[in-house]
Amino acid sequence: MRPSICLLLSLAGLGCGASVTQNPTGLADVPDAAVDVAPAAVDVPPAPVDVPVAMVDVPPPEPTDLALGETCTRDQQCASGLCAQTPGVVAGCAQPCVDDETCLAVNSQLSCVLDRAPGGGRLVCGQVVSAEVDPAGACTQDTECFSGFCLDGLCHNPCADDSVCAAGWRCGAQPVGARSVQVCRANPISGVTVEDYVLFEGLASVDRGTLPLQVVAPPDTVSLTWVTQDLAGPDLFASVTGVTAPDGRTLVDLRSWNTLREQQVRTLPSRLQINGATFPGRTMEPMVPGVFRSSHALLNDRSGSPVASRRMRAMVRVKRAPGGIAANGWTLRLRVIMGGIAGLNAAAAPRNARLQSALSRMRAIYASVGVNLAVEGYADLSAADAARFATIDSQEELRALFQRSSGMTGDVLPIFLVRGISSAAGLENAIGIAGGINGPPGIFGTVSSGVVASWDNTFGRTDLLAQVLAHECGHYLGLWHTMERNPACTTAGQADCSLWGGVDNLTDTPATMAGASRYLMYWTTSGSNELVSAGQGLMMRGNPIIH
């Protein structure tokens, strides 16, 4: 039996009193009130989302063992501990060095060069690849130097000691940034200085001479004086056979004598025992810094038996001054040696009126071109020599007289006073003679060391004695005659003629007799021709014994 509707409603909690409309379907009507029905839980996958991911390059560990030559950016990357960073000169891992010898052990193609690193200069083994390197050492930038180091217009080479430096230079510290490097450099100067360098000393083949020898002239060089000397005796001729300037100019060439061609340094081709040449030798030739090359030889006297070899010295005197300027006010020092003159000796000389007046007048002549004069002292020839040399009768006596300067030291010019010079000696009535043009600078005891003047042949005249002394000392200092007695040579081997047109090699002295005869260096004297040109004064002040 089915339950009653009332029972069903009662069980539903509606009670039997409620009005219920039966549905033919048998289902109860649902009221219109909203009924919240919780949806069943459903797993729905989320929509895809693009999330950016950063890409990070992780560098490999920094190398610390890069080999020589490998590219680097820091010292710590190189096994050598040094990363060179000078483009055009040297770059990459490099070996430290002190001179070229250090680098040759690493690679025969390398040399010691300057690395201008940010922390300061340092020396490393490298190779400057440049077609502009000047073998004479002149430069305007580092890449023009095999050493990669251009300073003051000259290439500077690394060094461990003085032995690898050219004559005239010393191994020393040169600041480059915060560091310093050891390079060959000129000694610093504060005033005029004269430095002597022996380029060669030893046994030399006579008539063959030396290979080119080098000296480096710093930018403050005033002059260079080369000397060739026979160390064994006065029977061979000495010659500076050639000199070449840093810019390639030929300054001296022994072969040019056969062509009668003027040279940029005028010098006699050879002289017995000793000979020299000074640059600049004329006012139109400026001094240039860099490497000068010279060659030297001893030459046989063709009239005697030939000598195969002989001890020879080749040297150079480098005169330097601030700015390279041959300044006014430098001093020529004299030592007066006398003998055979009645009433005149070393003790009486300071009170001898004629001698002191002549020296005073000579002092005034030289002062006109900025040269001071100082007499260092007076000396007497021995009694035997005073008798022998009272009158110079031959070239042999003249040479022997000049050898009496042996024992002297310093940059002084020996002046010998004798009674007379005989024309019988073939000296053409000379009243004064210089040992050379130039004379040996500060070198004594040779057949050319000094000047001589005649006391009697100047006829007691103070003006003539003064002019003779000033004239002959001018020759010794490098001055030529403003005009010669004989006409100019026109062919090789011509007799009784004068080389180089018969005039001097300066631009500010006259080339006519009317003008030249007024000058101190005219071939003869009147006692009043005392003019000295500015150019002549410049040449005198360039001589190494004036400072």
Give the tens place of pLDDT for each residue, 234-269. Answer: 889 999 999 999 888 899 998 777 666 677 788 888
Task: Reduce the DSSP state of residue 445 to 3 states and report it.
Answer: coil
For the stretch 62-78, pLDDT in tens is 888 998 888 998 899 99
Are 544 and 439 spatial neighbours (Cβ–Cβ below 8 Å)? no
Amino acid, single-letter form, for residue 310: R
Pairing verdict, β 290-299 and 193-205: unpaired
Q: Give residue 53's pLDDT.
A: 61
Question: When comparing pLDDT for 86 and 113, which is higher?
Answer: 113
Q: pLDDT band at 536, cuts 50/70/90?
A: very high
What mean pLDDT is reported for the chain? 85
Partners of residue 123 on adjacent β-strands: 114
Pairing verdict, β 90-93 and 83-86: antiparallel
Are 130 and 84 spatial neighbours (Cβ–Cβ below 8 Å)? no
Q: pLDDT band at 14, cuts 50/70/90?
A: very low
Quick one: what percent of the chain has pLDDT higher than 70? 86
User: Count of CB atoms within 10 A of residue 59's CB?
Assistant: 5
CA 290, 322, 196, 270 dihedral sign is positive
Check if CATH label 3.90.79.10 holds for domain 193-320. no
Q: Give residue 268's pLDDT.
A: 82
Q: Give residue 402's pLDDT.
A: 97
pTM (2 d.p.) = 0.81
Instruction: Examine the pLDDT at 223 and tell me if it is beyond 70.
Output: yes
Check if CATH label 3.40.390.10 holds for domain 331-478. yes
Q: How far apart are CA 371 and CA 545, in angstroms?
A: 12
Q: Hey, which of 90-94, 147-151, 364-368, 425-429 has the most confident mean pLDDT?
A: 364-368
Q: pLDDT band at 32, cuts 50/70/90?
A: very low
Q: Among candidates 271, 389, 396, which has minimal Cα distance to 337?
A: 389
* Per-domain residue ranges of the chain: 75-185, 193-320, 331-478, 480-531
Q: Give residue 6's pLDDT.
A: 42
Burial 363-372 (b: 16+ CB within 10 A, else e): bebbeebbbe
pLDDT mean over 49-61 = 68
Q: Give residue 425's pLDDT.
A: 58
Q: How far apart are CA 397 and CA 340, in angstroms?
A: 14
φ, ψ at 307 (rounded to 5°): -110, 135
DSSP secondary structure string for all residues of 224-260? EEEEEEESS-TTSEEEEEEEE-TTS-EEEEGGGGGGT
